[in-house]
Amino acid sequence: MKPRTKALTAAVTGTALGISGLAVLAVPAGAGADPELPEISPEELVESALAADPPAFAGTVGVDERIGLPEIPGNDLTNLDSARVWHDGDAGSRLAIERESAERTIVHNSDGVWMYDSQENTATRYPAPEKTHGGEQGPPPAQMGANDPAGASTEIIDALRESSTITVDGTARVADRSAYELILTPKPEERTVLREVKIAVDAETRLPLRFEVLPAGSPEPVLSAGFTGIDFGEQPADLFSFTPPDGARVVEGDPGEHAQPGDLPDPEAGLENLADASPVGDGWDTVLTGTLPEGALSGGADAEGPPEHGQDPAGPGPQALLEQSGERVSGDFGSGYVITTRAGTALVTDDGRFAVGAVPQQVVTEALEES
């Protein structure tokens, strides 16, 4: 996809795919009989999961996505062969996402973040901010991102706990590990199209191993993310450093832009290209609003730059994609197109504003009118 088309696709699908920021890593449920574990209260399980220090590990992840996205040519957000993640139990982590003809690598350490795309042979470095506003060294970025199922699940718990009814619903086996099933259900006042989020928490380490997002009115998850296999233990130190390959193009990113917690650019969607994005509301009915980059809606087959690998150079532009996939709507916000999935709603206006969330159409409309 061309950059402009990527930006539009991100606005249309970003929240639906990125309920945790983890649309590209997911997993089927674990096999075998449910383990017998000591009883634990929801409050104790939540607190222990949030307080757990992740041990060093290596894990394998994959994706099972049933969001119900409209057909968008070139949108391969969930088209990956496999992914691996490593964590050193301290400041370092590494994520490798393999596709048919390329691999994307993200390496965190105390110095910042490296991102490498083997297809484009481009490495981007985001140095860590030297100091926080309080004058002290900020925490290493690897401790705060959502680039693996454990980090993503922890962020979900932290973001939704105050607006949820929380229960423990038995046990499960995930990646051959015994786990408790933590259920977060939206409180009655929350306006969301989701029914619950289910998180499997490792009984021994309290590391979240898997999460499942279930929509209202369906027993099947729209997104299931977690480990298919995980091995705890010390990892080789060289995994958490990165040297660009010979001949690679090296780009310096903004020191504060993506080395911050939770701000890593999505490997596919190009969310970093969206301008002025900000949340409206909180909890389950949070809506992300903002403005697309200038000229994004007018991009297309005639946009600058060569088409990406596998893309039809005469393919439809962003405006045509909206017209094909969306429903024409108008209101106090103006006019535009709305796209509805099993996991949420996105609204993109003719002048490039957008609102997207795991909510009904009325909620994104109200958020856009408020922003």
- Amino acid identity, position 111: D
Strands 249-252 and 122-127 come out as parallel
* 85 & 219 share domain: yes
**Is the residue at 197 inside a domain?**
yes
* 271 & 195 share domain: no
pLDDT for 300 equals 46
* 226 & 324 share domain: no
- Name, in order, each residue with C-beta under 8 angstroms of 125's C-beta and a sequence gap of 6 or more: 112, 113, 114, 250, 251, 252, 253
Mean pLDDT, residues 4-15 taken together: 38
- Amino acid identity, position 191: R
Domain C-terminal end among 206, 240, 274: 240
* 73 & 206 share domain: yes
- The residue segments making up the domain with residue 364 are 266-370
* 366 & 303 share domain: yes
pLDDT for 256 equals 52
pLDDT for 333 equals 92
**Is the residue at 128 inside a domain?**
yes
Overall domain count for the chain: 2
Mean pLDDT (the chain) is: 78
d(CA 48, CA 41): 11
Q: What is the pLDDT of residues 225-256, one digit of tens each?
A: 899 999 999 999 999 999 999 999 999 986 55
pLDDT for 130 equals 64
* 184 & 324 share domain: no
d(CA 75, CA 269): 9
**Is the residue at 11 inside a domain?**
no
Q: Is the pLDDT reported for residue 12 higher than 50?
A: no
Which of helix, strand or coil describes residue 260?
Answer: coil
Mean pLDDT, residues 24-48 taken together: 75
Mean pLDDT, residues 51-60 taken together: 92
Supply the CATH number for residue 44's domain.
2.50.20.10
**Least reliable range by pLDDT among 42-51, 63-72, 81-90, 281-290:** 63-72
Q: Is the pLDDT reported for residue 169 higher than 60?
A: yes
Residue 191 burial by CB count (10 A; 0-12/13-18/19+): exposed, middle or buried? middle
- The stretches of the chain forming alpha helices (DSSP H) are 3-17, 42-51, 149-160, 318-325, 361-370
* 128 & 201 share domain: yes
pLDDT for 266 equals 43
Angle in degrees, CA 250, 251, 256, rounded to 5: 140
**Is the residue at 13 inside a domain?**
no
* 318 & 200 share domain: no
d(CA 360, CA 336): 16
Place of tokens 């809606």: 297
Which of helix, strand or coil describes residue 112?
Answer: strand
155 and 184 in contact (C-beta within 8 Å)?
no
**Is the residue at 95 inside a domain?**
yes
Q: What is the pLDDT of residues 332-352, one digit of tens each?
A: 999 999 999 999 999 999 999
Nearest C-alpha neighbor of 261 from the set 144, 143, 91: 144
* 76 & 212 share domain: yes
Nearest C-alpha neighbor of 168 from the set 20, 47, 39: 39
Mean pLDDT, residues 20-29 taken together: 35
Q: Is the pLDDT reported for residue 263 higher than 70?
A: no
Question: Encoding tokens for residue 104?
Answer: 């994307």
pLDDT for 80 equals 54
* 166 & 284 share domain: no
Q: Is the dihedral of CA 280, 285, 286, 291 positive or negative?
A: negative
Question: Encoding tokens for residue 108?
Answer: 């965190």
**Is the residue at 55 inside a domain?**
yes
Q: Is the dihedral of CA 144, 235, 227, 102 positive or negative?
A: positive
Q: Is the pLDDT reported for residue 9 higher than 50?
A: no
Question: Encoding tokens for residue 352?
Answer: 């490039």
Question: Encoding tokens for residue 121?
Answer: 């042979």
Q: Is the pLDDT reported for residue 269 higher than 50?
A: no
Q: What is the pLDDT of residues 126-152, one digit of tens each?
A: 988 764 444 444 433 333 345 578 888
**Is the residue at 50 inside a domain?**
yes
* 337 & 283 share domain: yes
* 271 & 329 share domain: yes
Range ranked top by mean pLDDT from 88-92, 221-225, 313-317 = 221-225
Q: Is the pLDDT reported for residue 158 higher than 80?
A: yes
More confident residue, 241 or 102: 241
